[in-house]
Chains A and B, each alone.
Chain A
Amino acid sequence: MGAELRNDTNSRPIPTTGMRGGLGRTLLTAFLILTILPLALVGWYAVRQNYINLQQEAGNKLQAIAVLKAHELQLWLEDRGTLFSSAAEMCGAVENAPGCSSWEHFQEQDPGLVGAILLDGNDKMLWSVGTCAETPNLDGDLGITSDALVKVALPRDEGALLLCHRLSALSEVLSSDASLGDTTHIYLIQNGASWPEAFSEQRRLAGTGTAQYINQLDVPVIGAYASLPDLDLGILVEQERTEIVTSSDRIAAMLIAVILGVVLVATFIASVVIRSITRPVIWLTESALEMAEGNLDQHVMVTSKDEIGILTYVFNKMAAELKSLYDDLEDKVVKRTRMLQQVNYQIQRRALHLEASLEVSRAITSVRDPVALLTEVANLICARFLYASVAVYLLEPGGGQARLHAISPSSADWPEVVHAGDGSVLERALRKAAPQVQMQQLVQSAWYQRSVARVAIPLKMGPRVLGALAVLSTEREGVQEDELKVLAHLANQVSIALENARAYERERMAAQQLE
């Protein structure tokens, strides 16, 4: 039933109030906002925190590496110095070191060591091997001067031993065991060279520090430094930020995927739930609109046992009652209207009869000839009363039979003579001296019920019956009581007029005989 109803409503346009509707859309939007917004906020906060933490941890890690490397370099240089000085002492008098044959041996072992100078207490050079002269900075502004010389002073009892190392050799020491990630780089930088702007002179004086900046290769990095104040050197450790935050980006991507998944599932569940709520409401709305349009034959399928189910049930009941009330009312209105129309028609007919009886009365008093009188009466009654036919019978002298004296219209079907005892409506009226009505079935058929009324009114003069007035009425309701009275009254007048006419006739005959 409900499905059929749906099909019906689908096939014809649903009346609307001009309003938009869209309860389901509103509910779904609210549901989605309530789901997505908190999830998105929590996700964003988690990713943000993770990002900050990762950067801090990376900074700390890089700082630790820088300090460790600085320490390692310091130790390595001290080791080298100790080794060199002890070798020099073994080689002979320190004062005569340039002649020592082990210098070449040393250089083979450590190609980064390019020269050594021994200074006495007054900073006066006692001897020197190799070269400690400054070479021009080949790499210019790069800040990492691979061929620059680093002079390391090792304090002795008197004076100091000055060792000159190639900077590139020191760099090799630093990067020897670095497994710090693909984009981690360690630089050894002289204080005179150009440092990243993030590490200002003042900050470098603090010894250590971390910063985020864009390096000379235009890559955003996180950097940490540790200075070696004795050597006028600093160690800079840089790692590209993209590598650090990769994991954070992965988490963000995963979070977005999870949120999208949750939203999808939530949307599906919400749409199912909302549909189950809004569908009956929409059906009810459509049915109510149909009812407002006047189509009261509405039934909505009850799909649930909740409040909406109850509402639907009550709506159906209400619609059915409304329809039955309305139908009853319409039925009653039709019946009453029909009745009123019938009564109205009858009243109009009665008025016509009264008017006609006056006219007939007037007419018959002016006619003196009995034959002419009866013909006039028949014609007038037939025409004014709208009967199918009218006939006037008069009793023959002796009273055995009545003969037809006037008929209107002339083609009407009435017997010429009425015999006593033939049982017809005329005979009965004559015998009983009272109006008689006989209904006559028109067609001998079970399904066609239409009859006409044959009415016979006796023409009486006191107790004496002169004849009868016969009428064929075609009205559906037959001949009413008051119609009979009007006819009886007319019959009386006809009787009087007839008697008058006869008396006049007799007087006239007598007068003629006297003459």
Chain B
Amino acid sequence: MSEKSKVPYESTILIVEDNFSNFLLMTRLLALLGVKKCEWKASGWKVLEYAETLGNIDLVLMDLMLPDCDGYESLESLRSHPRFKDVPIVAVTANVSGSSVTRAREAGFDGFIGKPLDPDRFPDQVRRALLGEEVWEPS
């Protein structure tokens, strides 16, 4: 399914982010890109169950510091589900240290976008992530 929806305006993006203003920034930038369906999960609690209620998801932007479950656990639960096994999941976090990037890479993330977000680059980063590219840009 994700093969078909490569273009931003046909994609569904799930943002797992506990910070409201960050989410607001992301969703506005995504709206600029043309993303119509952008779902928000404000905590790490039952991300997989929430994702299951959404239908097809083409990209997940995952904050690593989350209430309840952190980003790594959420990634693991999503990857264990056949439907989300191949969906690109990009880590979005303020912790941009080298060890954090290495850990994200080892955990199986498909990309890494550092916070604070660069409004000039973020739409392009998302567009490339939707096309299946790995976006490793901590800064």
Give chain A's interface residues, CB within 8 Å of chain B: 338, 341-342, 344-345, 348-349, 352, 383, 386-389, 409, 411-413, 442-443, 445, 447-448, 450, 452, 472, 474, 476
Contacts and interface: CB of A to CB of B under 8 A. Distances in A.
B55 interface: yes
Contacts of A348: 46, 49
A339 to B, nearest CB: 9
Given A338-B53, A476-B39, A448 B27 contact: yes
The 4 closest A-B pairs by CB, nearest first: A386-B43, A474-B42, A388-B20, A342-B53
A387 B28 CA distance: 21
A248 to B, nearest CB: 79
B21 A447 contact: no
A345 B49 contact: yes
A39 B21 CA distance: 97
Given A352-B45, A388-B42, A411-B21, A448 B53 contact: no
Nearest to A352: B45
Contact of A450 (B38, B49, B55): B38
Interface of B: 9, 18-21, 23-24, 27-28, 31, 35-36, 38-43, 45-46, 49-50, 52-53, 55, 67-68
Given A345-B50, A388-B18, 5 more contacts: A341-B49, A411-B21, A447-B36, A452-B20, A476-B40
A349 B53 CA distance: 13
Nearest to A473: B42
Contacts of B38: 448, 450
Contacts of B24: 442
A413 B21 contact: yes
B67 A386 contact: yes
Main secondary structure of the interface of A (DSSP, over half): loop
Nearest to B41: A474
Nearest to A448: B31
B28 A341 contact: no
21 contacts: A338-B53, A338-B55, A341-B49, A344-B49, A345-B46, A345-B50, A345-B53, A352-B45, A386-B42, A386-B67, A386-B68, A413-B21, A442-B24, A443-B27, A443-B31, A450-B27, A450-B39, A472-B20, A474-B41, A474-B42, A476-B40
B53 A474 contact: no
Contacts of B28: 442-443
Contacts of A413: 20-21
Q: Which of A386, A389, A411, A447 has the most CB of B within 10 A?
A: A386
A387 B40 CA distance: 12
A383 B67 contact: yes
Contacts of A341: 49, 52-53
A387 B55 CA distance: 23
Contacts of A389: 20
Contacts of A386: 42-43, 45, 67-68
B28 to A, nearest CB: 6
A411 B20 CA distance: 9
A412 B20 CA distance: 8
A443 B49 CA distance: 26
B2 to A, nearest CB: 17
Given A344-B49, A413-B21, A474-B42, A442 B55 contact: no
A352 B49 CA distance: 14
A107 B43 CA distance: 151
A337 B28 CA distance: 31
